[in-house]
Amino acid sequence: MKILIEKDYETMSLRAAEITAAEIKKRRRLVLGLATGSTPLGMYRKWIELVKSGQLSFAEVTTFNLDEYLGLPADHPQSYHSFMQEQLFRHIDVKPDHTHIPNGVTPDAVKQCKEYERLIHQAGGIDIQILGIGQNGHIGFNEPGEDFGALTHVVRLQESTRKANARFFSRLEDVPTHAITMGLKSIMNARQVLLLAAGSDKSDAVYKAMYGEVTEQLPASVLQLHPNCIFILDEAAVSNLPIDLTSGRWEMAK
């Protein structure tokens, strides 16, 4: 595991964008696993800037999103389909048929999960998987207790996750109770994983993910077993680590 520490969210986002952009330039047909939520937005904005300035192209890139709420149609304003369109896809030159997000209104969720895995396999597997991390250590919608061996599947969202996401909805009752998510094995199958985290509220989960017991009760801890995983963090997210951050930029290996 490699650990990159930047001063703040902006520089963390820039570092993540630089790393991924360099890989896209080297391998134009890169397969990217994408995440939603506030954490990757800074990186997405940097990608958009690079595309608009002619320094980067997603024309041959294929993307797979981690998850989608079960029960929300693609055009629902809080669906992850809508999120990705508004925050990234409509601003870059990615081809619509090269973007993949689970179908939240599928009549057969189990079949949809199997089809999603088939599509990932057909694309050659995910080259770089982008992740955030929840305060309880969840990655994607893999909540504490999820099987490390699970592929894409349906999950019931914990109340803590629903409450954390309720700010995007009119009321808590509107937050879906289930989602389709790539499983922990799906994530571990990626050739490289980049986990982004910012803010002191993530520091405990980050510390346990990097240095705690590898346990299904903290899903992100499985990343300790990945052969090519990079944590890209701001200083606040590593406030639990006993290191001097006055130098501004750190690289550590665990």
C-beta of residue 205 within 8 angstroms of C-beta of residue 135: yes
Round to whole Å and give the CA distance between 81 and 101.
Answer: 7
Cβ atoms within 10 Å of 98's Cβ, excluding its own: 18
Residue 182 exposure: Cα atoms within 13 Å on the Cβ side: 30
Eight-class DSSP state of 139: B
- pLDDT reported for residue 164: 82
Q: Where are the domains of the chain?
A: 2-253
| pTM, two decimal places | 0.93
Q: How far is CA 94 from CA 29, 45, 97, 127, 158, in A?
A: 11, 15, 9, 16, 33
C-alpha 149/C-alpha 118 separation (Å) is 17
Segments of the chain with pLDDT less than 70: 242-254
Which pLDDT score is estimated for 168?
82
- Tell me the DSSP string of 88-119: TGGGS---GGGEE---TT-S-HHHHHHHHHHH
pLDDT at position 247, please?
A: 47
**pLDDT at residue number 36:** 95
Q: What's the confidence (pLDDT) of residue 235?
A: 93
75-95 confidence digits (pLDDT tens):
999 999 999 999 999 999 999
Task: Enumerate the active-site residues.
Answer: 67, 136, 138, 143
How far is the C-alpha of 184 from the C-alpha of 150, rounded, in Å? 6
Which CATH code fits 2-253?
3.40.50.1360
Angle between helix 41-52 and helix 9-26 axes, rounded to 10 deg: 50
114-147 burial code (b ≥16 CB/10 A, e <16): eebbeebeebeebbbbbbbbbebbbbbbbbbebe
Q: Which of 189, 57, 184, 67 is nearest to 120 (CA)?
A: 189
Predicted pLDDT of residue 250? 58
